[in-house]
Chain A
């Protein structure tokens, strides 16, 4: 890699080219260094399933997976993700990986306006990949950074709990 080139300092307003693998597809786009990943995903790549709420790490609406781990896309600039694998709610749903979570959220009314839902699902997906049978306490703990202004959380915890039980009963995953 090259060392630091001072002319870079005068190029703060210029865009740079970044490449990622988003939902399994290779994409390249031009971003300003100050553009957050959530803005890039929503505005440039038109993946509006990832939501922008507080834009400071507090609400969890913007969660995506970077290289397989849940991350706030508002707490990252798109340039930092250059070269990374990004999976958004669109990719997770299309692959069928969280079909059971989606169905259970639906069945139990674990969403109303749906603003928080993508973030809830990304978080639930990671929790269940790490802990096969989380307690309700562990589920609540995992969701501590996700705000929901509609449901009161109980139905969300119920849905994740039910999927955890169903998955481990099925023996799969």
Chain B
């Protein structure tokens, strides 16, 4: 049967349910890398149905116990790759130690999609319009990767390369994401501008700052839906570090955004409009941060 461009049924593939990380890696290699890992499937299944992808083998990783669970490990929270978006809302450890993820979660898709979509899947896909990949940048998180040559950890700052391009090599698996524990002298803020709740954002932003009384010692600001990948606003950060959140420094940070973001040409939203929206959003979030958000 030829479904042509309107295909909503996937091409044939074989299905393998892996019980361990090694089984999953081995299966991927033996399929000559013509395989896909499936986690929540909330991005992959539509891509298969539309035949944007047609791998020979689908490797179900959702039964691998090692990829599950949220726990403290030293100065970090280890968030297993299979942690579902809905768990970001319900898991007390996330609310306490990674509140920025907790705040971002209600903005990710719709409830039923959050019931299946996973943190690891979202970071692996690296959609530039997604909330969580951008938040790993704001949180200075590390992504743990398992591959043929063993395990390694990559800083979020070095993970996102370009449009859907990351440090992840074919056949490699994200096992967990490590997030430094939220501290008493820190504040965070998150928001996005979208046409409809649940839609991908026109512009979104999350930030995490460390304060000494009202002076910013350190701040990480990350935007999504503003370019080919999630982006840190380093010039805006530099405009704020060492200062209080008064009108003058907020305006300086907003002005600096021009050097940070590279909004793509797009029929619906011209780059100038996106930059404008990013400035509006930055102003609002810094205002909230100043109020102790």
Q: Which of A4, A8, A123 contacts B111 (CB 8 A)?
A: A123
Q: Which of A10, A34, A70, A80 contacts B10 (CB 8 A)?
A: A34
What distance in Å separates the Cβ of B123 from its nearest Cβ neighbour in chain A?
19
Q: Does A97 contact B (CB under 8 A)?
A: no
Known: A70-B111, A75-B41, A145-B198. A33 touches B58 (CB 8 A): yes
What distance in Å separates the Cβ of B9 from its nearest Cβ neighbour in chain A?
7
Q: Contact: A6 with B30, CB < 8 Å?
A: yes
Q: Mark B193-232, 1 if CB is under 8 A from A, else 0.
A: 0001110000000000000000000000000000000000
Q: Contact: A76 with B14, CB < 8 Å?
A: no
Q: Mark A57-73, 1 if CB is under 8 A from B, else 0.
A: 10010010000011110
Q: Contact: B12 with A12, CB < 8 Å?
A: yes
What distance in Å separates the Cβ of B85 from its nearest Cβ neighbour in chain A?
12
Give chain B residues whose Cβ lies under 8 Å from the Cβ of A16: 15
Q: Contact: A126 with B14, CB < 8 Å?
A: no
What distance in Å separates the Cβ of B54 from its nearest Cβ neighbour in chain A?
10
Q: Does B168 contact A (CB under 8 A)?
A: no
How far, in angstroms, from A3 to B17 measured CA to CA in the complex? 9
Give chain A residues whose Cβ lies under 8 Å from the Cβ of B57: 8-9
A contact residues, total (Cβ < 8 Å): 40
Q: Does B45 contact A (CB under 8 A)?
A: yes
Give chain B residues whose Cβ lies under 8 Å from the Cβ of A126: 111-112
Which segment of B19-27, B67-75, B243-251 sits at the interface? B19-27
How far, in angstroms, from A16 to B109 measured CA to CA in the complex? 32
Give chain A residues whose Cβ lies under 8 Å from the Cβ of B18: 4
Give chain A residues whose Cβ lies under 8 Å from the Cβ of B23: 1, 3-4
Known: A3-B26, A69-B115. A76 touches B45 (CB 8 A): yes
Q: Which of A33, A60, A76, A77 contacts B116 (CB 8 A)?
A: A76
Q: Which of B30, B50, B58, B112 contacts A145 (CB 8 A)?
A: B112
Give chain B residues whose Cβ lies under 8 Å from the Cβ of A71: 112, 115-116
Q: Does B166 contact A (CB under 8 A)?
A: no
Q: Which residue of A lies closest to B48 (CB)?
A: A34
Q: Contact: B196 with A144, CB < 8 Å?
A: yes
Q: Which of A3, A12, A144 contacts B198 (CB 8 A)?
A: A144
Q: Which of B8, B27, B46, B112 contacts A4 (CB 8 A)?
A: B27
Q: Which residue of A lies closest to B60 (CB)?
A: A80
Give chain B residues whose Cβ lies under 8 Å from the Cβ of A36: 9-10, 45, 49
Q: Which residue of B lies closest to A33 (CB)?
A: B15
Q: Contact: B111 with A145, CB < 8 Å?
A: yes
Known: A33-B12, A79-B15. A55 touches B49 (CB 8 A): yes
Known: A9-B57, A12-B56, A76-B116. A127 touches B49 (CB 8 A): no
Q: Does A94 contact B (CB under 8 A)?
A: no
26 CB-based A-B contacts, threshold 8 Å: A3-B26, A8-B14, A8-B57, A9-B57, A16-B15, A33-B13, A33-B14, A33-B58, A34-B12, A36-B9, A55-B49, A69-B86, A72-B113, A76-B45, A79-B17, A80-B60, A80-B62, A123-B111, A123-B112, A126-B111, A140-B197, A141-B197, A141-B198, A144-B198, A145-B109, A145-B113
Given contacts A12-B12, A75-B46, 6 further A-B contacts (CB under 8 A): A33-B13, A57-B46, A60-B110, A74-B49, A82-B17, A144-B197
